[in-house]
Amino acid sequence: MKIGVIGAGNIGSALAGHFRRLGHSVLITNSRGRESLSQVAQETGATPVDISETARRVDLLVIAIPMKSVPSLPKDLLSGLPASSPIVDTGNYYPLRDGAIPEIESGMIESEWTSRVLGRPVIKAFNSIVADSLLHQALRRGSKGRIALPVSGDDLKSKQRVMALVDKMGFDVIDAGPLSESWRYQPGTPAYCPDPTIDQLPVLLRRAIRDKAPCNRDQAAKIMAKLPLDFSPQELVRVARLSAGLDTWKPKSWIAVCCIWVSRLCGLNVAPLVRQGTSYLSNSGQNHDETESPRTLCSCPFPYSAHRSDAGNICKSNPGRQRSPRRQSGDRAGHEAVSRRDPRS
């Protein structure tokens, strides 16, 4: 397939790398133009292009940019995109980063808003997994603890094509129904970023409470904003699992919660220290990799604009990766459901 990826940040580059590994040709772009994408091209094997070329005659298009940026996409961007080519929406709405979007604030489903702005149907996928897990937790089909992802949309053929891709990338996948049901894995819901298995995911989707999600999301976002930059995404996923009612009896789940509260209070990332100290406690770590591989994406769990780290513009956990001053967004808050007690309760 020829795949276009708009957005070359955490999610866009993680997906581009996966698609390249599957042998697809990948065009990738960002807001600053192809010249700024040499490192991403080197790391992913994708071809940097200017935004106007990304959707031209591709078989599948991925939108991996902050939701606030969707309206600023060129109006004729999709004129060259065949009607049969699915558009994948990976977006999550964070008022703190995106500013208040009135339609969504009054209840519109995030991907329905994106579809309306684009003027084309979309398939919602890859929004409910943190970039770090997307990059490092892919497993062969049939493997124990393989992470399952929900995919939803109104066009069955398009949805099935995306679901087949998810499976080939290394994740189990379930049909989460029409786009009108995609709220069940928006930020603030149980199915948002706990890296569930194929048995756990349907239960979590059913447990979603629509009215509670925005409050849960914002509560957790406030907690995230106070966490040290280099807080590990896998620690946050561990707490998201706990909040979703998974791993309740795993000591490391509660240790991760403690780490968050102590780190918040003292502003230092105590997780690595605690991890070393307790590593013998249990080797549970179900499909959670304790050690971060050198390719680990920036572990900052929250939109940069809300973090205290602007000065360096360099991501502590990935010193080789220079962050452009313009890049103010990007939410690693995928793993945002964190608090001692589930903020959504």
Residues in contact with ligand NAP by CB under 6 A are 6-12, 30-32, 51, 64-67, 69, 72-73, 90-92, 127, 130-131, 324, 326-327, 329-332, 334
Asked if residue 26 lies in contact with residue 52, where contact means CB atoms within 8 angstroms, the answer is no
Segments in the chain forming alpha helices (H): 10-21, 38-44, 51-54, 95-98, 102-105, 110-118, 131-136, 156-169, 200-206, 213-225, 233-243, 251-266, 271-278
Q: What is the largest CA-CA distance in the chain?
A: 57
Least spacing, CB of residue 277 vs ligand NAP, in Å = 27
**Of the candidates 193, 174, 300, the residue with the CA atom closest to the CA atom of residue 246:** 193
Contact by Cβ (8 Å): 285, 251? no
Tell the smallest beta-carbon distance from residue 283 to ligand NAP (Å).
Answer: 26
Least CB distance to ligand NAP at residue 305 (A): 10
Calculate the CA 199 to chain-centre distance.
Answer: 21
User: CB-wise, 32 or 141, nearer to ligand NAP?
Assistant: 32
CB atoms within 10 A of CB 52: 13
> Do residues 305 and 329 touch, judged by C-beta distance below 8 A?
yes
Give the angle subtended at the CA of 298 by the CAs of 239 and 136, to the nearest 5°. 70
How many Å apart are CA 62 and CA 54, to the nearest integer? 9
Q: What is the DSSP letter of 141?
A: T
Our CB check for ligand NAP shows the closer of 172 and 195 to be 195
The amino acid present at 35, given as its one-letter code, is: E
The minimum distance between CB 169 and ligand NAP, in angstroms, equals 14
The CB-of-329 to ligand NAP minimum distance in angstroms stands at 5
The residue among 51 and 174 lying less far from ligand NAP, judged by its C-beta, is 51
What is the closest distance, in whole angstroms, from the C-beta atom of residue 181 to ligand NAP in the complex? 18
When the beta carbons of 134 and 163 are compared against ligand NAP, the nearer one is: 134
Instruction: Considering the complex, state which of residue 67 and residue 147 has its C-beta at the smaller distance from ligand NAP.
Output: 67
Which CB, 86 or 91, lies closer to ligand NAP?
A: 91
Nearer Cβ to ligand NAP, position 127 or 243?
A: 127
Q: Which residue lies nearest ligand NAP, judged by its C-beta?
A: 9
3 state SS of 62: strand
Q: How far apart are CA 213 and CA 226, in angstroms?
A: 21
Q: Which is nearer to ligand NAP, 40 or 277 (CB)?
A: 40
CB nearer to ligand NAP: pick between 63 and 270: 63
CB of 235 to ligand NAP, least distance (A): 14
- Smallest gap, in angstroms, from Cβ of residue 227 to ligand NAP? 14
Kindly state the tokens that stand for 340: 């001692």
Q: Tell the smallest beta-carbon distance from residue 64 to ligand NAP (Å).
A: 5
Alpha-carbon gap, residue 285 to 276, rounded angstroms? 14
